[in-house]
């Protein structure tokens, strides 16, 4: 039995093959989202959430009241003008939404803080333009130690929930890249462990039907989960990193590791330990 | 001890292009027109978190002129959305586009969540102010019913006719806050001599008929010495529901760089950083304690304050504390250390 | 508590650069099942004669897992057969390079009551692995595969790292690597011991070892909850700060009567190094019981050493209770005389004085420690 959710580019033709499974359809914009949802609801699949990869800022992404309650992970390049955002805020507050913003985008670190303080769940994404690491560290400090309750900022909020001081803490589930929770399928029905594997053609299976009995016993699945051990075949930037426990080499998939990310994730680890020692209550999402 | 709970005041910027006579930030905008000393979003979020964690849901936004901040509308909306009751202390948002944007965003907020403390000083200061006053009409058409008018009097040469007319015409609150220009520690801005205060009070009450006609109820802000009001004037105040606070206490100001101070005239008195405190109550206690120590060291603005029974009864604070602090500066430092800047 | 180092085989599938076992003339021997049976018989005899005592067996080599799953299955059967009434007082551990570890070993080792595996690793190229120069690539992959199996099956393991000249160039990198790999289980950092000129290129002096530790210690101390028990730091913290008495064998001053090393052909000696150097040989278990071996008069020499050093070379040393002159073999090498303190004396004292005490803020109190030792004993 497949316990993972299947992330796939939305095509109506693919739905019958996914009947009974939890799915994460990917769409490029909010246009025709109503039709997409109707198709999904009629198809017999279980919608986990919609992954919208918009090229427009949040304020122009097409959010509207009719989407209240629909779980949406919305990737946008930026927030958009603040004045427009505040006019949209009453709509956003009714939605079951997490907003993904790239750390390297201008003003995004500020936007993430503002959104979180207003009770809107957010996530920082990596890759693309290099972030301001100092600003990111400030945001991380806010995520862990902000004085007032605020919505979680992933991956920090997620790390805070799962934190194991001695073990590895993986947060790629926030980005739907954890094979224990998500598998990726292309428009031809081929399945891979991650979106990167899908792009490279490293398929787990040629067809989703082959996953009837689940993926956990497949050798390539097990191998994929253990890829992080390859860092320990040598002294490399990741395996010798003081902050390894909070990254597990994940960021190395997006950029060449260096002292900046090492310093940052080391600080994340210190902050998690401090937070744990302060025995804070779990952060709660604020909704009016 | 019962601590006061003043509404904290946050400066969005120190820059201002108005020319209010008794303000240290008058005409402080660069020739380039770019405001300086702007609060950042990160610091704004911090202030909001700090105040809410302290249980304080009210905030006044001021400056300089807060509407000069490029993010003024967004920052104000942000604070309202965080749950604050926001009062913006301004001489008016005059630029067309900014006013339009402000109207579009703020009109959705009920008056108790978003209000304006409208500084009418430019209107009472004569010809140079008139040109500025012309720009205020459009602003009042949009926001008049949210405005709480305020004036600060620096000399006996002023005319309240136009301001009182505007209050009535645009439906502003009938509670007119009347402040007195005080010296500002560390600045050379003009302020009336103590001996001139009675004349200012008399001039103000010369507009009593007009105030009665427009149903204006003046509220005298802190720092007015009670002895400058005669019995007739006190009686008028009592009958017309005006209020007068003759005491003096910390009001808590926060600068764009998160420096804190106890009140506007003493904005350079024992400055600290907001980051040094865990709560607003800690700040209030610090300055409340300092104020009490100043009052122990010096009676007030007049020599007679030392033996004044109203001061003993705590009905009058002996004028603004800044006068006392300024008098200490020229002495040998023999007093309690907390009374020095 | 007695410890038996059981060298079940001298065969090894690796040619680790700093290992002495593979360089010995006698190589390739494995303990026959008959000899293994005799070993268990001797163990049982020993424990029956000491009703209060316990015995720990450390399976060693060479690479002990080369003996195969069936061997250990048979070992469990032999233990049950010969030690039926005493096996509750026998505990086991096993030291392996994990490169030939398979799933099939798990249940068999558990049946033998081996509940923990010790292993060793160094990703430095050409340091571990078969061939000369060592093929470390394949070795490392197999090691990781073995580790994966252990983690998946929840089988506890511990890590030993050998500090070489390569390590001292980058102490914190090494430390974080080991901490990240061991995931908070803790690990041990032992200095490489090189006694020949041929491999001097990886040898380190005692002072260099101390500087290596000194570069790491503040990081460990600050985050010890995160890193777990890292040796030798944890031992020092346990003894100096936490009121415990947990000295290593060479520091306890009591190794004389507590250790026995047995080779595949049944020859008994004090420990692995003494066997390699031909010292402190106690005969063969075919002819002698364990009790006779533990009472061998040569062991009196080690007891005499402890008494002698306390009154001479180590007289007045504040750290005597923590060290007792160190391992007798460390003192033997340079002088060929057991009546010498360890060559690592200055290094050990220097580390505690210059690094451990200032960083922790705790000064070692020998009188307090002596009281605790006597209470424990």
> Mean pLDDT throughout B282-292?
92
- B269 falls within a domain: yes
Distances A176 to A165, A200, A226, B215, C140 between C-alpha atoms, Å:
23, 17, 17, 65, 31
Chosen from A165, A224, A242, A265 to mutate, greatest number of chain C CBs within 10 A: A242
Comparing C-alpha atoms, which of A244, A271, A265, A170 is closest to residue C179? A244
- Is the model's pLDDT at C72 over the cut of 70? yes
> Mean pLDDT throughout B221-226?
89
Across the interface, do B104 and A114 touch by the CB < 8 Å criterion?
no
Instruction: List subunits contacting chain A, requiring 3 or more Cβ pairs under 8 Å.
Output: B, C
- The pLDDT-based confidence of C346 (bands split at 50, 70, 90) is very high
Instruction: Tally helices (H) and strands (E) across chain C.
Output: 17, 10
- State whether residue C144 sits within 8 Å of chain A by CB: yes
Average pLDDT, chain C: 92
Q: Which helix (H) or strand (E) holds A101?
A: strand A96-102
Please state, as a whole number, how many other Cβ atoms lie within 10 Å of the Cβ of residue C332. Answer: 21
> Mean pLDDT throughout A266-273?
96
Q: Which two tokens stand for residue C98?
A: 């994990």
DSSP B119: E
Q: Which two tokens stand for residue A271?
A: 């902050």
Residue B335 is predicted with a pLDDT of: 81
- Which residues in chain A are closer than 8 Å to B71, comparing Cβ atoms? 82
Comparing C-alpha atoms, which of B107, B119, B62 is closest to residue B80? B107
Residue A178 is predicted with a pLDDT of: 95
- Which residue in the block uniquely carries the two structure tokens 């050379």? B188
Percent of chain B's residues with pLDDT above 70: 90
pLDDT in tens, A209-265: 888 778 888 888 988 999 999 999 999 999 999 999 999 999 998 899 999 999 999
> Which residue on chain A is closest to B43 by alpha carbon?
A110
- Is the model's pLDDT at C301 over the cut of 80? yes
Better-scored residue on pLDDT, B295 or C162:
C162
Residue A287 is predicted with a pLDDT of: 46
Across the interface, do B53 and A148 touch by the CB < 8 Å criterion?
yes
- The pLDDT-based confidence of B22 (bands split at 50, 70, 90) is low
> Mean pLDDT throughout B62-85?
94
Q: Quick one: A83 exposed, middle or buried, by C-beta within 10 A (0-12, 13-18, 19+)?
A: middle
> Which residue on chain A is closest to C141 by alpha carbon?
A233
pTM score: 0.89
Residue B12 is predicted with a pLDDT of: 96
C–B contact (≥3 CB pairs within 8 Å)? Answer: no
Please state, as a whole number, how many other Cβ atoms lie within 10 Å of the Cβ of residue B321. Answer: 29
Q: Provide long-range contacts, Cβ within 8 A and 24+ apart, for B328-331.
A: B328/B297, B328/B298
- The pLDDT-based confidence of A114 (bands split at 50, 70, 90) is very high
Average pLDDT, chain A: 92
- B184 falls within a domain: yes
- State whether residue B77 sits within 8 Å of chain A by CB: yes
Within 8 A by CB and 6+ apart from C353, the residues are: none
Considering Cα of C227, then C229, then C231, then C233, what sign does the dihedral take? positive
Choice among A48-62, A138-152, A177-191, B299-313 with the minimum mean pLDDT = B299-313
Please state, as a whole number, how many other Cβ atoms lie within 10 Å of the Cβ of residue B223. Answer: 24
Cα–Cα distance measured from residue B303 to residue C239, given in angstroms and rounded to the nearest whole number: 73
- State whether residue B52 sits within 8 Å of chain A by CB: yes
**Phi, psi for B117 (deg, rounded to 5):** -95, 105
Choice among A223-227, B270-274, C90-94, C248-252 with the minimum mean pLDDT = C248-252
Please state, as a whole number, how many other Cβ atoms lie within 10 Å of the Cβ of residue C116. Answer: 13
Q: Quick one: B120 exposed, middle or buried, by C-beta within 10 A (0-12, 13-18, 19+)?
A: buried
Across the interface, do C180 and A232 touch by the CB < 8 Å criterion?
yes
Distances B203 to B125, B181, B229, C359 between C-alpha atoms, Å:
14, 15, 11, 73
CB C322 within 8 A of CB C369: yes
Nearest residue, CB atoms, C180 vs list A230, A234, A245: A245
Nearest residue, CB atoms, B45 vs list A85, A86, A117: A117
- Is the model's pLDDT at B146 over the cut of 90? yes
Q: Which two tokens stand for residue A83?
A: 């004045």
- Which residues in chain A are closer than 8 Å to B81, comparing Cβ atoms? 86, 89, 118
Which CATH number covers residue B310? 3.80.30.10
Please state, as a whole number, how many other Cβ atoms lie within 10 Å of the Cβ of residue C221. Answer: 16
Q: Which two tokens stand for residue C269?
A: 């000696």
- State whether residue C226 sits within 8 Å of chain A by CB: yes
Beta strands in B145-195 (DSSP E): 147-153, 175-180
**Phi, psi for B284 (deg, rounded to 5):** -60, -45
Percent of chain A's residues with pLDDT above 70: 97
- Is the model's pLDDT at B190 over the cut of 80? no
- State whether residue B101 sits within 8 Å of chain A by CB: yes
- B230 falls within a domain: yes
Q: What is the DSSP string of C345-357?
A: HHHHHHHIIIIIH
Cα–Cα distance measured from residue A90 to residue A88, given in angstroms and rounded to the nearest whole number: 6
According to DSSP, the β-strands at C2-7 and C55-60 are parallel
**CB-defined contacts A:C, below 8 A:** 62
Across the interface, do B49 and A110 touch by the CB < 8 Å criterion?
no
Burial B295-314, CB ≥16 within 10 A → b, else e = bebbbbbbeebeebeebeee
Q: How close is the nearest chain C Cα to the Cα of A14, in Å?
A: 35
What ipTM describes this predicted complex?
0.91
According to DSSP, the β-strands at C281-284 and C267-269 are antiparallel
- B1 falls within a domain: no
Cα–Cα distance measured from residue A117 to residue B60, given in angstroms and rounded to the nearest whole number: 20
Cα–Cα distance measured from residue C230 to residue C171, given in angstroms and rounded to the nearest whole number: 14
- Is the model's pLDDT at A288 over the cut of 50? no
Burial B128-155, CB ≥16 within 10 A → b, else e = ebeebbebbebbbebbbebbbbbbbbbb
Distances A250 to A171, A228, A257, A261 between C-alpha atoms, Å:
8, 8, 10, 11
- B4 falls within a domain: no
Number of domains in chain B: 1
According to DSSP, the β-strands at A96-102 and A71-75 are parallel
Facing residues of A182 across strands?
A5
**Phi, psi for A74 (deg, rounded to 5):** -110, 115
**Phi, psi for B249 (deg, rounded to 5):** -150, 165
Across the interface, do A110 and B42 touch by the CB < 8 Å criterion?
yes
Instruction: List subunits contacting chain C, requiring 3 or more Cβ pairs under 8 Å.
Output: A
Q: Which domain holds residue B253?
A: 9-339
């Amino acid at each position: 039995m497949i316990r993972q959710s299947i992330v796939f580019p939305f095509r109506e033709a693919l739905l019958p093959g996914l009947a009974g499974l939890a799915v994460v359809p990917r769409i490029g914009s909010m246009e025709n989202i109503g039709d997409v949802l109707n198709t999904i609801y009629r198809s017999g699949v279980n919608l986990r959430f919609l992954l919208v990869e918009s090229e427009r800022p949040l304020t122009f992404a097409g959010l509207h009241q009719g989407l209240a309650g629909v779980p949406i992970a919305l990737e946008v390049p930026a927030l958009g003008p603040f004045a427009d955002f505040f006019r949209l805020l009453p709509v956003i507050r009714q939605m079951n939404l997490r907003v993904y913003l790239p750390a390297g985008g201008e003003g995004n670190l500020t936007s993430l803080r503002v959104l979180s303080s207003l009770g809107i769940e957010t996530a920082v994404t990596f890759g693309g333009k290099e972030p301001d690491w100092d600003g990111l560290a400030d945001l991380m400090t806010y995520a862990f130690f902000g004085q007032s309750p605020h919505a979680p900022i992933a991956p920090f909020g997620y790390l805070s929930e799962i934190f194991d001081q001695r073990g590895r803490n993986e947060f790629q589930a926030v980005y739907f890249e954890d094979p224990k929770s998500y598998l990726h399928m292309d428009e031809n029905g081929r399945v891979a462990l991650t979106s990167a594997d899908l792009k490279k053609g490293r398929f787990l299976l040629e067809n989703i039907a082959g996953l009837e009995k689940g993926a956990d016993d497949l050798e390539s699945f097990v191998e994929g989960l253990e890829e992080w051990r390859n860092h320990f075949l040598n002294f490399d930037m990741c395996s010798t990193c003081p902050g390894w426990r909070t990254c597990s080499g994940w960021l190395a998939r997006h950029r060449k590791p260096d002292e900046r990310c090492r310093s940052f994730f080391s600080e994340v680890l210190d902050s998690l330990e401090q937070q744990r020692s302060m025995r804070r209550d779990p952060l709660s999402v604020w909704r009016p | 001890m019962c601590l006061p709970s003043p509404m904290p005041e946050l400066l969005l910027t120190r820059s201002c292009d108005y020319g209010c006579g008794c303000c240290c930030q008058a005409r402080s905008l660069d020739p380039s027109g770019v405001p300086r000393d702007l609060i950042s979003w990160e610091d704004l979020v911090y202030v909001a978190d700090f105040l809410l964690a302290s249980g304080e849901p009210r905030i006044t936004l001021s400056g300089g002129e807060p509407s000069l901040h490029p993010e003024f509308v967004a920052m104000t909306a942000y604070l309202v959305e965080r749950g604050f009751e926001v009062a913006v202390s301004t001489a008016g948002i005059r630029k067309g586009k900014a006013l339009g944007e402000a109207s579009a965003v703020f009109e959705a907020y009920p008056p108790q969540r978003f209000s304006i403390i409208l500084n009418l000083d430019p209107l009472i200061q004569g010809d140079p102010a008139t040109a500025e006053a012309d720009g205020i009409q459009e602003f009042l058409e949009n926001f008049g019913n949210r405005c709480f008018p305020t004036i600060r009097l620096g000399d006996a040469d002023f005319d309240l006719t136009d301001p009182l007319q505007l209050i009535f015409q645009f439906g502003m609150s009938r509670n007119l806050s009347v402040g007195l220009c005080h010296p500002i520690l560390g600045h050379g801005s003009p302020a009336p001599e103590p001996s001139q205060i009675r004349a200012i009070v008399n001039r103000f009450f010369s507009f009593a008929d007009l105030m009665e006609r427009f149903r204006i109820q003046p509220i005298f802000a802190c720092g007015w010495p009670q002895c400058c009001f005669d019995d007739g004037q006190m009686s008028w105040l009592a009958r017309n529901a005006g209020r007068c606070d003759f005491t003096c206490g910390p009001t808590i100001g926060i600068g764009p760089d998160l420096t804190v101070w106890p009140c506007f005239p003493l904005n350079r008195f024992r400055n600290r950083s907001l980051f040094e405190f865990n709560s607003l109550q800690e700040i209030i206690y610090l300055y409340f304690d300092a104020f009490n120590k100043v009052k122990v060291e010096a009676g007030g603005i007049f020599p007679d304050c030392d033996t004044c029974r109203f001061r003993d009864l705590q009905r009058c604070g002996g004028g603004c504390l800044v006068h006392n602090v300024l008098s200490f500066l020229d002495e040998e430092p023999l007093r309690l250390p907390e009374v020095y800047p | 508590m007695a410890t038996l180092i059981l060298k079940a085989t001298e065969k090894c599938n690796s040619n680790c650069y700093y290992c002495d076992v593979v360089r010995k003339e006698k190589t390739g021997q494995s303990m026959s099942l008959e000899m293994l049976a005799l070993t268990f018989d001797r163990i049982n005899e020993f424990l029956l004669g000491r009703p209060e005592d316990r015995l720990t067996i450390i399976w060693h080599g060479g690479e002990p897992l080369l003996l195969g799953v069936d061997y250990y299955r048979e070992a469990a059967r032999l233990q049950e057969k010969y030690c039926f009434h005493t096996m509750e007082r026998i505990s086991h551990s096993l030291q392996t390079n994990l490169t030939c570890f398979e799933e099939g070993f798990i249940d068999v080792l558990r049946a033998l009551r081996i509940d923990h595996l010790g292993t060793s690793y160094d990703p430095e190229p050409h340091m571990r692995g078969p061939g000369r120069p060592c093929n470390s690539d394949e070795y490392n992959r197999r090691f990781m595969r073995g580790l994966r199996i252990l983690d998946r099956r929840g089988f506890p393991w511990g890590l030993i790292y050998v500090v070489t000249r390569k390590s001292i160039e980058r102490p914190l990198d090494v430390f974080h690597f080991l901490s990240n790999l061991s995931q908070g289980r803790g690990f041990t950092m032992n200095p490489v011991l090189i006694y020949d000129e041929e491999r001097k290129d990886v040898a380190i002096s005692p002072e260099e070892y101390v500087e290596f530790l000194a570069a790491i210690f503040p990081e460990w101390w600050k985050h010890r909850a995160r890193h777990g028990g890292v040796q030798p730091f944890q031992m020092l913290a346990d003894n100096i700060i936490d009121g415990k008495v947990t000295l290593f064998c060479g520091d306890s001053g009591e190794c004389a009567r507590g250790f026995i090393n047995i080779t595949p052909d049944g020859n008994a000696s004090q420990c692995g190094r003494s066997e390699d150097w031909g010292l402190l040989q106690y005969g063969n278990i075919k002819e002698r019981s364990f009790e006779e071996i533990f009472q061998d008069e040569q062991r009196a020499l080690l007891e005499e050493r402890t008494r002698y050093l306390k009154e001479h070379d180590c007289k007045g040393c504040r750290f005597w209770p923590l060290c007792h002159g160190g391992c007798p073999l460390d003192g033997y090498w340079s002088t060929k005389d057991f009546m010498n303190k360890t060559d690592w004396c200055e290094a050990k004292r220097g580390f505690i004085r210059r690094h451990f005490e200032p960083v922790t803020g705790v000064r070692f109190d020998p009188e307090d420690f002596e009281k605790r030792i006597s209470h424990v004993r």
